[in-house]
């Protein structure tokens, strides 16, 4: 018994030493890859050391000069909140326009993603041709960044929200389509087999067997994408896509530092509100389907 225990302990220590060697080799390879990537990307410690103080200086410039005694005074009083957000009415409208862009783009993209996700799922047997066409279409839509698509669409449709909506919707369809298809692939096939055995067609099985099971996950992904699209819509405005992004680009280009921070704060508040609303809606839908 003691000899068997000794052999078992020796085998355990040998396996542990092998795992340690594999871990060390893996970390060494990772470190080498990171160093090579840093060298190719011209990331230098000296450059970082010289640039970090400038980042801090820029953030110091965009901070508002608020004073507690006059914090709640009118917009004509320097150091008040009203003076910091002196263009709140126009910024709020532009932010509302940006939110509308994000919502419409999310709706269009999620609708396209839902249609393509079912043939793009391996386990539903849509056929190799339909599967490959759906997968490659989703890959193509999410490969090109939104800002590149927006530049092309601005040239085609002109400056305005339409180009931004279509650009974000295209990328949203590609990104959500992959997530939707993976959620469908992880769904049990019992209900699917039951609908098909009862004579249901392929679309009917998708609608009545698969969709009710994956609806909470799909909604969660779509709501998360809505938050992402709000930020994307703000960036799309830099290339003429409309919304608060155009105003943010203007104040950055003209070095209106306090206006930069005011707009950024409004965007952060909007994203936080959407996050809270999305969470409440998601839990309600999950409860309805649970």
What are the pLDDT digits (tens) for 230-242? 888 888 877 766 7
pLDDT tens-digit series, residues 211-227: 988 988 898 899 889 88
pLDDT tens-digit series, residues 245-281: 888 888 888 888 888 999 999 988 888 887 787 778 7
Exposed, middle or buried by CB within 10 Å (0-12, 13-18, 19+), for 142?
A: buried
Q: Which residue has the tokens 């509302």?
A: 96
Residue among 227, 235, 140, 126 at smallest CA distance from 181: 126
Q: Which two tokens stand for residue 255?
A: 């070095």
| Mean of all residue pLDDT scores within the chain | 86
Integer-rounded Cα radius of gyration of the chain: 26
Residue 127: alpha-carbon gap to chain centroid: 31
Residue 54: alpha-carbon gap to chain centroid: 29
**Helices vs. strands in the chain: H and E counts, helices first:** 12, 0
CA dist 182 and 180 (Å) reads 5
Pairwise pLDDT comparison (48 vs 93), residue with the higher score:
93
pLDDT for residue 117 is more than 80: yes
pLDDT of 290: 53
Q: Which two tokens stand for residue 115?
A: 């249609």
Mean pLDDT for 12-40 is: 89
How many CB atoms are located within 10 Å of the residue 214 CB? 21
Of all residues in the chain, what percent carry a pLDDT higher than 90? 23
CA dist 65 and 262 (Å) reads 12
pLDDT for residue 283 is more than 80: no
SS3 letters for 159-194? CCHHHHHHHHHHHHHHHHHHHHHHHHHCCCCHHHHH
Mean pLDDT for 145-150 is: 86
Report yes or no: 234 and 153 within 8 Å, Cβ to Cβ. no
pLDDT of 224: 85
Report yes or no: 235 and 226 within 8 Å, Cβ to Cβ. no
Angle subtended by helix axes 88-120 and 257-289, to nearest 10: 40
Q: Which two tokens stand for residue 25?
A: 């080799």
Lowest mean pLDDT among 97-106, 133-142, 149-158, 206-215: 149-158
Query: Residues with Cβ < 8 Å from 115, sequence gap 6 or more?
Result: none
pLDDT category at 30 given cuts 50, 70, 90 is very high
pLDDT for residue 84 is more than 60: yes
pLDDT of 15: 85
CA dist 203 and 121 (Å) reads 13
For the entire predicted model, the pTM comes to 0.77
Residue 16: alpha-carbon gap to chain centroid: 40
Report yes or no: 192 and 210 within 8 Å, Cβ to Cβ. yes
pLDDT tens-digit series, residues 94-114: 888 888 989 999 999 999 999
């Amino acid at each position: 018994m003691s000899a068997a225990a000794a052999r078992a302990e020796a085998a355990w220590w040998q396996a542990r030493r092998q795992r340690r060697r594999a871990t060390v080799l893996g970390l060494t390879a990772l470190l080498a890859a990171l160093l090579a990537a840093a060298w190719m990307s011209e990331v230098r410690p000296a450059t970082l050391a010289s640039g970090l103080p400038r980042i801090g200086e820029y953030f110091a410039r965009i901070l508002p000069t608020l004073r507690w005694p006059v914090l709640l005074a009118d917009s004509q009083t320097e150091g008040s909140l009203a003076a910091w957000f002196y263009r709140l009415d126009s910024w709020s409208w532009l932010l509302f326009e940006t939110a509308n862009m994000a919502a419409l783009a999310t709706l269009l993209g999620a609708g396209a993603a839902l249609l393509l996700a079912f043939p793009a799922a391996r386990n539903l047997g849509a056929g190799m041709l339909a599967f490959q066409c759906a997968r490659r279409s989703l890959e193509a839509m999410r490969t090109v960044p939104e800002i590149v698509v927006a530049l092309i669409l601005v040239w085609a449709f002109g400056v305005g929200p339409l180009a931004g909506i279509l650009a974000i919707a295209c990328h949203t369809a590609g990104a959500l389509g992959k997530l939707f298809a993976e959620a469908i692939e992880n769904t049990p096939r019992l209900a699917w087999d039951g609908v098909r055995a009862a004579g249901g067609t392929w679309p009917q099985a998708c609608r009545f067997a698969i969709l009710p099971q994956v609806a909470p996950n799909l909604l969660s992904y779509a709501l998360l994408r809505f938050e992402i699209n709000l930020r994307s819509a703000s960036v799309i405005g830099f290339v003429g896509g409309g919304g608060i992004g155009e105003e943010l680009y203007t104040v950055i280009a003209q070095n209106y530092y306090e206006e930069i921070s005011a707009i950024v704060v409004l965007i952060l508040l909007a994203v936080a509100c959407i996050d809270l609303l999305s969470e409440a809606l998601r839990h309600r839908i999950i409860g309805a389907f649970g």
